[in-house]
């Protein structure tokens, strides 16, 4: 009999990560590839996803043909947007089953090892989710141009915007803005605009760590920007906690940097994530498969499932 | 002998406008076409420019072949960015001469009827310029993604960002945010993101008048956003006035809306623009031609001029 595999993929604005397990829960391999936010750039996301799938099977020394006996769950940034989910759902994927959901959903299941709880992602983008009794309430996640405040992209872009205002002498400069302008490696304000006007969220997010380094050194400009973004994340956490979730975790590359800037009340209620988002995706794949088997035994409909409910509105 | 014509074109993020005069200064026609910010969208800008040129000759009942005896000056948003100016300079234009410069430069010459003075443009984008002794000092104009605070696009986008936060209950709503969400004609926050994530600055700028209407009615959210953008414009004016220009004028579709929100000190120093930017462009074309003729008489180099000096850094 053919072996069955479980694949979890976590995709965001800067990278995607895949994890492969066998039916007994043994870890077989993991792999990292490029950005996979199909709302932002569908072609790039598909390239990254195909790359990460090929990579994780290769790492596990398995032929890619085994995708046909693999149950996959992909949690991607941007899949909260209906048109984006619709487009992704049309993909002629190679898997036995594929469930598409949001990066928030898999992160929440991974963090709490169950389907209830709350999570805030602070990576290239920012967003929050409460899962309760099968219902998902989503906050933020409006993307780089319309929101994602307190995210890596927002912190980076806000820093560059501020730096441009210091060049115009409309804002006081600081050690941080001087250092930032140096690191941008541009000759003038016009040159910064040339280089960064069309920059991706991931490119802006690269400057967030420098901002936090200077905020830790009490640089007034860095502190101002960090406080503004952190205030938004704090409000997001408050909103989630009002729903009384079974635990709130912060996830994403910037969560450790932002956490110390939240109010003590919020910090006290944050619990560490038990698992990473891609582990959460594998958990969902296993749960779904267990459910399908159960349904088969009950002679119920056992058709291949390729979609996931959209989170409810609040 | 062939007649000589002078053409001035003002191009910005929402539209471009052309004005045609004969050698005696008689007005022959004007024409308006689409967006012409080649930094934002080069192909669209070229389409709009070709359209406005054809349109203005047609309006003046002149064959387009007369472009060959026409001295043209185009002042376009985005031409402060070196790569953009370089690209535009490669255009095989149909004119006797073509001088490329910024929308700021032609607006400044038009407003003050001379080559010294200061100007702030508040249209789809925002920026400031001081012209003094042949030197141009430019402020702002960093484009939608990195600046243009206090511009139509910024006011519109900031309003939509705020409205999304009210849907998430992260900010209090107001009559303005309710009305704005209604006018967006979207079913949910996700739908707003779908529709507006890739919207152009001109699309966002459409919502600025609604914002100012509600700010006039003392709507707290509208007042907050208007005050923040106007503070930036005020700082821009202060910076320009420090250079002691011979006059400061506000130009652009939103200037009348923003002016009442500036401090009384700044308002007292603003003088109305004497002419529109496209008139300024025609003035520059005439001055340039007078200079060339003078040079010809002095047996100096009289080669066709197709570039303009980049504004100095501050």
Q: In the predicted model, is pLDDT for residue A121 greater than 80?
A: yes
- The reply to whether residue A161 touches residue B140, judged by beta carbons under 8 angstroms, is no
Q: In the predicted model, is pLDDT for residue A74 greater than 90?
A: yes
* Nearest-neighbour CA in chain A from B126: distance (Å): 13
Lowest mean pLDDT of A157-161, A252-256, B255-259, B305-309, name the range: B305-309
Identify whether the C-beta of residue A113 lies closer than 8 Å to the C-beta of residue A283: yes
Which residues of chain B approach chain A closer than 8 Å at the C-beta? Answer: 39, 80-84, 139-140, 142-143, 145-147, 157, 160-161, 164-165, 167-170, 188-194, 196-199, 232, 235-236, 239, 310, 313-314
> For A267, what's the count of Cα atoms within 13 Å in the CB-facing half-sphere?
11
* Nearest-neighbour CA in chain B from A57: distance (Å): 34
- The reply to whether residue B145 touches residue A197, judged by beta carbons under 8 angstroms, is yes
Q: Which of A139, A142, A188 sits opposite B193 (nearest CB)?
A: A142
Contacting residues for B76 by C-beta, under 8 A, at least 6 apart:
B9, B11, B12, B16, B36, B37, B38, B45, B88, B100, B101, B102, B103
Q: Residue A141: its pLDDT value, please?
A: 86
Task: Identify all chain A residues contacting B237, using CB atoms and an 8 Å cutoff.
Answer: none
Q: A152-269: same fold as A5-113+275-297?
A: yes
- Name the pairing type of β-strands A16-22 and A5-11: antiparallel
Distances (CA, A) of A144 to A42, A124, A152: 16, 9, 10
Percent share of chain A, pLDDT over 90? 76
Beta bridge partners of A75: A10, A101
Q: What is the dihedral of CA A108, A110, A112, A114, to 10 degrees?
A: 90
> Average pLDDT in the A111-126 region?
90
Indicate the pLDDT class of residue A308, thresholds 50, 70 and 90: very low
Identify the closest residue of chain A to B168 by CA–CA distance: A139
Distances (CA, A) of B69 to B7, B101, B279: 10, 20, 19
Q: Residue A40: its pLDDT value, please?
A: 85
> Average pLDDT in the A59-66 region?
96
* Cα A13 to Cα A144: distance, rounded to the nearest angstrom: 10
Q: Which of A164, A191, A198 sits opposite B147 (nearest CB)?
A: A164
Q: In the predicted model, is pLDDT for residue B77 greater than 70?
A: yes
3-state secondary structure of A17: strand
Q: Residue B83: its pLDDT value, please?
A: 87
* Cα A140 to Cα A148: distance, rounded to the nearest angstrom: 7
Structure tokens of B263?
């401090």
* Nearest-neighbour CA in chain A from B139: distance (Å): 6
- The reply to whether residue B190 touches residue A235, judged by beta carbons under 8 angstroms, is no
Q: In the predicted model, is pLDDT for residue B302 greater than 60?
A: no
- The reply to whether residue A145 touches residue B198, judged by beta carbons under 8 angstroms, is yes
Task: Identify all chain B residues contacting A196, using CB atoms and an 8 Å cutoff.
Answer: 145-146
Task: Identify all chain A residues contacting B162, using CB atoms and an 8 Å cutoff.
Answer: none
Q: Residue A95: its pLDDT value, please?
A: 96
Q: Residue A187: its pLDDT value, please?
A: 78
Task: Identify all chain A residues contacting B139, using CB atoms and an 8 Å cutoff.
Answer: 168, 170
For tokens 């991706």, the residue is A200
Show me where the domains of chain B are located: 5-113+275-297, 152-269
* Cα B309 to Cα A51: distance, rounded to the nearest angstrom: 48
- Domain at B5-113+275-297: CATH architecture: 2-Layer Sandwich (3.30)
Phi, psi of A118 (to 5 degrees): -135, 155
Q: Which of B142, B168, B232 sits opposite A193 (nearest CB)?
A: B142
Q: In the predicted model, is pLDDT for residue A303 greater than 80?
A: no
Which residues of chain A approach chain B closer than 8 Å at the C-beta? Answer: 39, 80-84, 139-140, 142-143, 145-147, 157, 160-161, 164-165, 167-170, 188-194, 196-199, 232, 235-236, 239, 310, 313-314
CB-neighbour burial class of residue A29 (10 A; exposed 0-12, middle 13-18, buried 19+): middle
Task: Identify all chain B residues contacting A147, using CB atoms and an 8 Å cutoff.
Answer: 161, 164-165, 193
- The reply to whether residue A194 touches residue B236, judged by beta carbons under 8 angstroms, is no
Q: In the predicted model, is pLDDT for residue B11 greater than 80?
A: yes
* Cα B268 to Cα B115: distance, rounded to the nearest angstrom: 22
Identify the closest residue of chain A to B313 by CA–CA distance: A188
Summarised one tens digit per residue, pLDDT across range B142-190 is 989 898 999 999 999 999 999 999 999 999 999 999 999 999 988 788 8
* Nearest-neighbour CA in chain A from B2: distance (Å): 41
The CATH number, out of the four listed (3.40.50.300, 3.50.50.60, 3.30.460.10, 3.30.420.40), of the domain defined by the range B152-269: 3.30.420.40
**Contacts across the A-B interface (CB distance below 8 Å):** 107
- The reply to whether residue A139 touches residue B168, judged by beta carbons under 8 angstroms, is yes
- The reply to whether residue B313 touches residue A188, judged by beta carbons under 8 angstroms, is yes
Residue B314: in which H helix or E strand, if any?
Answer: none
* Nearest-neighbour CA in chain B from A262: distance (Å): 15
- The reply to whether residue B83 touches residue A194, judged by beta carbons under 8 angstroms, is yes
The interface predicted TM-score (ipTM) is 0.81
Task: Identify all chain B residues contacting A239, using CB atoms and an 8 Å cutoff.
Answer: 168-170
Identify whether the C-beta of residue A274 lies closer than 8 Å to the C-beta of residue A139: no
* Cα B98 to Cα A253: distance, rounded to the nearest angstrom: 51
- The reply to whether residue B146 touches residue A192, judged by beta carbons under 8 angstroms, is yes
Structure tokens of B138?
């430019």
> Average pLDDT in the A149-177 region?
96
Q: Residue A1: its pLDDT value, please?
A: 60
Q: In the predicted model, is pLDDT for residue A186 greater than 90?
A: no
Task: Identify all chain B residues contacting A142, using CB atoms and an 8 Å cutoff.
Answer: 161, 164, 189, 192-193
Q: In the predicted model, is pLDDT for residue A11 greater than 80?
A: yes
């Amino acid at each position: 009999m053919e072996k069955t595999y479980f694949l979890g993929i976590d995709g965001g604005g800067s990278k995607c990560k895949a994890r492969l397990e066998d039916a007994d829960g043994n870890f077989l391999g993991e792999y990292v590839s490029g950005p996979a936010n199909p709302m932002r750039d569908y072609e790039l996301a598909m390239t990254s996803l195909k790359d990460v799938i090929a990579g994780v099977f290769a790492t596990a020394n398995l032929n890619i043909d085994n995708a046909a006996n693999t149950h996959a769950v992909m949690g991607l940034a941007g899949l909260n947007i209906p048109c984006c989910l619709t487009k992704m759902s049309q993909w002629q994927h190679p898997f036995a089953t594929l469930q598409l959901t949001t990066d928030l959903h898999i992160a929440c299941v991974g963090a709490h090892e169950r389907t209830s709880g709350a999570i805030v992602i602070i990576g290239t983008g920012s967003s929050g989710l409460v899962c309760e009794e099968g219902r998902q309430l989503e906050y933020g996640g409006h993307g780089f141009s319309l929101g994602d405040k307190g995210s890596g992209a927002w912190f980076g872009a806000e820093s560059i915007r501020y730096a441009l205002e210091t060049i115009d002498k409309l804002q006081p400069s600081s050690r941080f803005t001087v250092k930032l302008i140096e690191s941008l490696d541009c000759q003038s304000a016009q040159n910064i605009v040339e280089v960064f006007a069309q920059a991706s969220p991931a490119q802006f997010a690269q400057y967030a760590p420098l901002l936090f380094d200077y905020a830790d050194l009490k640089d007034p400009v860095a502190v101002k920007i960090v406080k503004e973004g952190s205030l938004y994340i704090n409000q997001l956490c408050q909103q989630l906690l009002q729903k009384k979730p079974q635990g709130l975790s912060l996830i994403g590359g910037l969560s450790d940097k932002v956490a110390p800037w939240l109010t003590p009340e919020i910090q006290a209620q944050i619990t560490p994530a038990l698992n990473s988002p891609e582990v959460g995706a594998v958990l969902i794949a296993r749960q779904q498969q267990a459910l399908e088997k159960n349904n088969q035994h009950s002679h119920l409909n056992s058709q291949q499932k390729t979609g996931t409910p959209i989170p409810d509105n609040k």
